[in-house]
Amino acid sequence: MSFVSFVLNDMDLSVRIGSLTLKNPIIAASGCFGYGVEYADVVELSSLGAIVSKGLFLREREGHPAPRIVETPAGMLNAIGLQGIGVHRFVEEKLPELRARGATVIVNVCGTTLDEYVEVSRILSDAEGVAALELNISCPNIKEGGIQFGCSLHGTSDVVSAVRKATKLPVIPKLTPNVTDVASFARAAEEAGADAVSLVNTFLAMVLDVETRRPRISNIVGGLSGPAIRPIAVRMVYECRQAVKIPILGMGGIASACDALEFIIAGATAVQIGTANFVDPFIWSKLLDGIEQYMERHGLARLADLVGSIDTSTREKQWVSS
Ligand SMILES: Cc1cc2nc3c(=O)[nH]c(=O)nc-3n(C[C@H](O)[C@H](O)[C@H](O)COP(=O)(O)O)c2cc1C
């Protein structure tokens, strides 16, 4: 065994999200990795820190009519409208295979009402093989529920505390970036009993075809994701890290190990990858290799030590003196 492989094997990439320990910080983001099973022949599901399912309501949903996605500079706009198979079919049809493949499964929970969030969470808590619940209070593409809760401090608090009472699983509300002060929402979530927060969901945006003067997607507006949003998402993770003690699952445009490390250094305990998986479905091992190489180069034995290790001292001094 070479020295390098010994050092690499000796590295600890594990991270803790409440009571949950992930073997590494790399997570497939909701809506960009199906229900996980679709990728099982291409990606070793058990090699990922976790996968997050597509958002699930109590019942099946059709979502919006096509066109539902359009490419944008350094990103994409989507308004899928939370098409999904519903929680019962997920538990019966998808969860057994995910369990058999050794995947760590976080389920993205949706609701049009508070009761629906609670009911979906209860069903998932009784099912075998769910590691945590990510509460989608931030989807910009539906009319009822979702972002209406996530854009109000009371709504955020109400959903988190209601689900908190209904489950022992880690509860991870997913925050919207479509607010002025995202840190206050992270704080509201923490105070209501969240074990962690995920951020960010997509940014409300719009693309037009100037020839026809029509919006390029049927829902008129949609959610922007991909590298275009990354610097804003990093800033939001940094702001939330100052505001709360609970772990942050950071995302928004991560497409390389360097991007993932940026989020971790800004304060994310784990990172999620969405849009980049559409560009490169083999991205996962590249991300993990890149993180290990960085740790080796910087003499780091534990990835957890890198979380929130941002050094702002010289920047602040420059700011004051200029
Ligand atoms: C096609 C598509 C579908 C998505 N569906 C969901 C969803 O069901 N639930 C959710 O919380 N976020 C959903 N998202 C948001 C992503 O999980 C992620 O928060 C966002 O895209 C930012 O990360 P990225 O830039 O790496 O894609 C979706 C994003 C895309 C592009």
12: Cβ–Cβ under 8 A, 6 or more apart, which residues? 301, 302, 303, 304
- In this predicted structure, what is the pLDDT of residue 3? 36
- In this predicted structure, what is the pLDDT of residue 142? 67
- In this predicted structure, what is the pLDDT of residue 2? 34
Cis bond leading into 182, ω under 30°? no
- In this predicted structure, what is the pLDDT of residue 1? 33
Calculate the CA 196 to chain-centre distance.
11
> Which is the catalytic residue, given 139, 151, 240, 258?
139
Residues of the chain with pLDDT under 50: 1-8, 322
Collapse the DSSP code of 171 into the 3-class scheme (helix H, G, I; strand E, B; otherwise coil) and give the result.
strand
Residue owning the nearest CA to atom 6 of ligand 1: 31
Clarify whether 151 is annotated catalytic: no
Collapse the DSSP code of 7 into the 3-class scheme (helix H, G, I; strand E, B; otherwise coil) and give the result.
helix
- In this predicted structure, what is the pLDDT of residue 315? 63
Q: Under a CB-based contact definition with an 8 Å cutoff, are residues 186 and 244 in contact?
A: yes
- In this predicted structure, what is the pLDDT of residue 138? 87
> Could you tell me the distance, in angstroms and rounded to a whole number, from the CA of residue 130 to the centre of ligand 1?
20
Question: How many whole angstroms separate alpha carbon 23 and alpha carbon 274?
Answer: 19
Give 100-113 pLDDT, tens digit per residue: 999 999 999 999 99
- In this predicted structure, what is the pLDDT of residue 113? 93
Question: How many whole angstroms separate alpha carbon 117 and alpha carbon 191?
Answer: 18
- In this predicted structure, what is the pLDDT of residue 7? 42
Ligand 1 pocket residue status of 250, Cβ below 6 Å: no
Q: Under a CB-based contact definition with an 8 Å cutoff, are residues 153 and 187 in contact?
A: no
**Residue to mutate, 30, 52, 273, ligand 1, most ligand atoms under 8 Å from C-beta:** 30
**Residue to mutate, 38, 76, 225, ligand 1, most ligand atoms under 8 Å from C-beta:** 225
> Could you tell me the distance, in angstroms and rounded to a whole number, from the CA of residue 299 to the centre of ligand 1?
34
Give 1-14 pLDDT, tens digit per residue: 333 333 446 899 99
